[in-house]
Structure 1
Amino acid sequence: MTYFEDFAKVCSAIEHISGSLEITTNVSNFLKEVSDEELPIVTRFIMGHVFPVWSNKELGLGPNLLYSAISRTSSLPVKRIEELIKETGDVGLALEKAILCGKTHLSLFSESEQLSIKEVYLRFERISELSGKGSQDAKIKNLQYLFSQAKPTEIVYLSRLAIEEMRIGVGEGIVRNAIAEAFGVPSELVERGILLTNDSGLVAITAKKEGKEGLIKLGVMINRPLRMMLAQIGAGINETIKEMGHVAVEWKYDGARVQIHKNENDITIYSRKLEDVTSSLPDLVKSIRTNVLTNCVILDGEAVAIGKNNRPKPFQEILRRFRRKYDVSTTAIEIPLCLNLFDILYLNGDSLIDIPLIKRREKLEKVCDKSVVAKQIITDDPAVVESIYNEALAAGHEGVMLKNPGSPYSPGKRGKNWLKLKPIMETLDLVVIGGEWGEGRRTKFIGSYLLACRDPDTEKFLPIGRVATGITDEQLEDLTKLFKDLIILENGIHVDIEPKIVFEVAFEEIQKSPNYGSGYALRFPRLVNVRTDKSKEDADSIERIEQLYIRQKGR
């Protein structure tokens, strides 16, 4: 049995290391020490995840619940805890200080009462199962139990885990390399396993017990969503045809991405964030039952909200459908969805991701009615592509997708095999990490938001600028409500926000800047959409910022 204190000590050591290789070795050594039962838990914990990314389980613990739990444990008022957070600038360190300052359980602590890693996980699992009347208080009591059993150093990482923000610089890249180093397997196979299963814990235990052979066997499974293949901005029609030869042309729908798992009569629909949204989309479920003519399949596509004029409704209307929990049938009538399927990843026991797109397309057309299959034309004629592009725009959609007909399906990868062409200003998907309260009539609202891109190695978020343009007064109110429970720290007009919400932001230019941690700043940023269909892991990376900067300078 491994104690949570051991985990806390490893995290504390990592926080004081700057080199990624040394961090990887520390993580690797700890993975080797824990038991088989603890390994999947630890692998997720070290990145700040309690459950697998694809799991329906969620803690639902915001800062307010966390502060209430530590207040009850330490006997300090919540106001004092908030002051400690302002002083330290870190939730974990502030709550550790609260325990040390308050009337605590520490004098009664004994070695026999030490928390184990498994006990922490089971308590978090219990919290995730609480819902309905009285659930908030029950969650606080469960947190209070953990805090009352923990040593001060453990409090730091318990509290960060509770809001799933470890902030120790361990991201998927480091965990991938640590698993490879710990169990002597190729990092490429570890990465493949993580992309296919969305569960680093499963990959770690597979690497330990079954080695290279076990990782090779990991594959696509029904009802376990895999990451969606991504597209990057194309340079142009002529350039793309020159590079690919023939291209598979499809409309780029102005909709929301869906991944559909059909297992006999059971149908599950996952959003781009791999959240189960089936209950909110009964019309899509009905369409799938009618038009998908096979027993066991995984499909990739786009759901589009169609208006009375037969044109796509605004993206925010689609998100209303995905978020709806009540009056679902009524909303389905108000905002009907149309399904456009463009890929098939799994069919009756066989993974299809490694076969060429052109072959996957043949199978897709065989098992789905043509009414739900996105139109596709393969051509090497720029004029044909131009015509399809104009048709898509005239129909109210975003442009076209140009795909390599010979390409495999690469989960979670953004590469040159899928390119998007659209006429609008370049946009970035950035995580909101802070904000400022407004002035004058906007004093009750957060008036501007601090944005950050993602460092894929450490999973840290690097500031790149603020956005206040493109936000209406109505949106200001809605956004303030959205972010209110995510505020971690307030200092005057400035707020630190838990990084969970993604903004799609347009801009005129990327500039070098020493004022932000990314080293870049956006010129004239403007809010385009709140991408609640995307997770913080979907945010654009610092590498993409650098690529765009180089491209715009013509270097």
Structure 2
Amino acid sequence: MGWRTLRGLLGRPADTATLTVTEVDALLGEVAATSGSGSTSRRSELLSGLLSRATSREQDFLLRLLTGELRQGALEGVMIEAIASATDVPGDLVRRAVMLSGGLATTAAAAAAGGQQALRAFRLELGRPVRPMLASPAESLDQAVDGVGEPIVEYKLDGARIQVHRDGDEVHVYTRTLREITQRATELADLVRGLPCTSVVLDGETLALTDDGRPRPFQETMARFGSTRQAQVKALLLRPYFFDCLHLDGADLLDAPLRSRREALRRVAGEHVIPGEIAPADAAAVLESSLDAGHEGVMVKDPDTPYAAGRRGRAWLKVKPSHTLDLVVLAAEWGHGRRTGWLSNLHLGARDPDGGEPIMVGKTFKGLTDELLAWQTRHFPTLERGSDDWTVHLRPELVVEIGLDGVQTSSRYPGGIALRFARVLRYRPDKEPSDVDTIDDVRSMLRG
């Protein structure tokens, strides 16, 4: 049920509020369960009846709820603290349970029903993906290695994050958003099925390579995950590079230090371990080698830290030679001159860590090819939440990677800063709006 379909179901609002939460929940449950022949018509009938009984404010609420645009501030980090407060359990325990269960709702139900004991019962389960650990950006290589006794310095690849689970001959491959792609990455499943173990959970990256072994553009790797054309699947074989081992032959390794997990990784993954060194004599040489091979930069990791979902301070840091930010597209302006008729200049927003609306930090039309302009003009109206003569305002769902020379203070935008020489590098269909950089991340670049 898309936005335009739902808008078409809106009729005259009710004058008096009569709907209850329980009633609406039951009806939406019925809508979700409706399938098979005639299901589209039945879902429309159910929702039309619901909306006809809703007041104007209730219609607005339901429309935004159903299209994922409610934006009431319930970011995952906020919800984790809310669950901890409501059930009187430690926040770290809730955070770990979310990582292992894969979902906030499952964790909240367990905490409400069984408290700390129920949350401690969550274990790594083969075939159920674990929320991934993420890296924070570093201002420089020197800043990243400073304070880490014997850092692990690994290549930073421009690929797609994967997590692979194997239990005997059964193998599952997941993306960073925990979406299963096993049937579209069969060569990865076959490779892991042949590793010297009976059960394993591996974290890593995968990418398509050219004939001479250099990485293909990121978009070509991602095309594999969305492609249904067998010819394209065969043409773009994926090469995995694993950098962590979370389970091996019956032993869960999440709480073990990275140093130990890395030893297990080398035993089981062999030549498929990502290039890197422990306490290299010259970290800059590893960075140069990665760049020469066509990759993005390096990761600097603390070898004494456990595996924990999300960004965990300085445990993992990413170093790139040029500044990049993942931001969300808030709007696009109609172009002028040669770009007349195309949606062009993008309004860019950073994530509010407190759960509010994204905070605008700049605009750019640089880096947009004719192909991207045409795609934006076709696709952006499907995300429209308002427009005027010059601008189409979008639901904040599209993540775009932006290259920039830095940031500067500015009163022009709400965040008090502006991007310098921003340019579009690529869209990131593998990332969610909750993955974009925060306004604090952007402000921290002022110090650099």
With normalisation by structure 1, the TM-score equals 0.75
How far does residue 419 in structure 1 lie from its aligned partner after superposition?
A: 2.0
Deviations 1:460-517 (A, max 9, x none): 3111111211101121002222323111212112111111110101112212233323
The question of whether the paired residues in 1 share the 8 Å contact of 2:381 and 2:392 is answered with no
In 1, Cα distance between equivalents of 2:410 and 2:39? 46
In 2, Cα distance between equivalents of 1:463 and 1:184? 36
Other-structure match for 2:278: 378
Other-structure match for 1:251: 155
Other-structure match for 1:306: 209
Other-structure match for 1:221: 125
Other-structure match for 2:26: 119
1:321 and 2:224 correspond: yes
The question of whether the paired residues in 2 share the 8 Å contact of 1:282 and 1:332 is answered with no
Match of 2:423 among 510, 523, 526: 526
How far does residue 169 in structure 1 lie from its aligned partner after superposition?
A: 2.7
In 1, Cα distance between equivalents of 2:143 and 2:344? 42
Other-structure match for 2:314: 416
In the superposition, relative to structure 1, how do residues 459 and 412 fare at CA in structure 2: closer, same or farther (>3 Å)?
farther
Other-structure match for 1:96: none
In 2, Cα distance between equivalents of 1:524 and 1:465? 10
1:401 and 2:299 correspond: yes
In 2, Cα distance between equivalents of 1:134 and 1:395? 54
Greater strand percent: which structure?
2
In 1, Cα distance between equivalents of 2:417 and 2:43? 41
Other-structure match for 2:256: 355
The question of whether the paired residues in 1 share the 8 Å contact of 2:139 and 2:445 is answered with no
In the superposition, relative to structure 1, how do residues 288 and 138 fare at CA in structure 2: closer, same or farther (>3 Å)?
farther
**Which shifted more, 297-306 or 512-521?**
512-521
How far does residue 258 in structure 1 lie from its aligned partner after superposition?
A: 0.8
Other-structure match for 1:34: none
1:62 and 2:14 correspond: no
In the superposition, relative to structure 1, how do residues 468 and 298 fare at CA in structure 2: closer, same or farther (>3 Å)?
same
How far does residue 153 in structure 1 lie from its aligned partner after superposition?
A: 4.1
Q: For residue 196 of structure 1, what is the amino acid of its counterpart?
A: L
Matches within 5 A, 1:434-513: 434-513=331-410
Q: For residue 163 of structure 1, what is the amino acid of its counterpart?
A: T
In the superposition, relative to structure 1, how do residues 282 and 388 fare at CA in structure 2: closer, same or farther (>3 Å)?
same
Greater helix percent: which structure?
1
Secondary structure of the 1:225 match is: coil
The question of whether the paired residues in 2 share the 8 Å contact of 1:283 and 1:332 is answered with no
Secondary structure of the 2:425 match is: strand
How far does residue 428 in structure 1 lie from its aligned partner after superposition?
A: 0.6
The question of whether the paired residues in 1 share the 8 Å contact of 2:96 and 2:308 is answered with no
In the superposition, relative to structure 1, how do residues 387 and 155 fare at CA in structure 2: closer, same or farther (>3 Å)?
same
In the superposition, relative to structure 1, how do residues 433 and 253 fare at CA in structure 2: closer, same or farther (>3 Å)?
same
Other-structure match for 2:232: 331
1:432 and 2:329 correspond: yes
How far does residue 194 in structure 1 lie from its aligned partner after superposition?
A: 2.6
Deviations 1:25-81 (A, max 9, x none): xxxxxxxxxxxxxxxxxxxxxxxxxxxxxxxxxxxx4321221222xxx1xxxxxxx
Other-structure match for 2:60: 156
Q: For residue 66 of structure 1, what is the amino acid of its counterpart?
A: L
In 1, Cα distance between equivalents of 2:172 and 2:52? 40
How far does residue 440 in structure 1 lie from its aligned partner after superposition?
A: 3.6
The count of corresponding residues between Structure 1 and Structure 2 is 448
> What's the % identity of the aligned pairs?
34
Secondary structure of the 1:499 match is: coil
How far does residue 458 in structure 1 lie from its aligned partner after superposition?
A: 1.3
Query: Any gaps of 5 or more consecutive residues in structure 2?
Result: none
In the superposition, relative to structure 1, how do residues 171 and 296 fare at CA in structure 2: closer, same or farther (>3 Å)?
same
Secondary structure of the 1:243 match is: coil
Secondary structure of the 1:116 match is: helix
Other-structure match for 1:181: 85
The question of whether the paired residues in 2 share the 8 Å contact of 1:280 and 1:322 is answered with yes
The question of whether the paired residues in 1 share the 8 Å contact of 2:345 and 2:363 is answered with yes
Matches within 5 A, 1:14-29: none
Deviations 1:231-280 (A, max 9, x none): 22334444444411212222112211111122333322222222222222
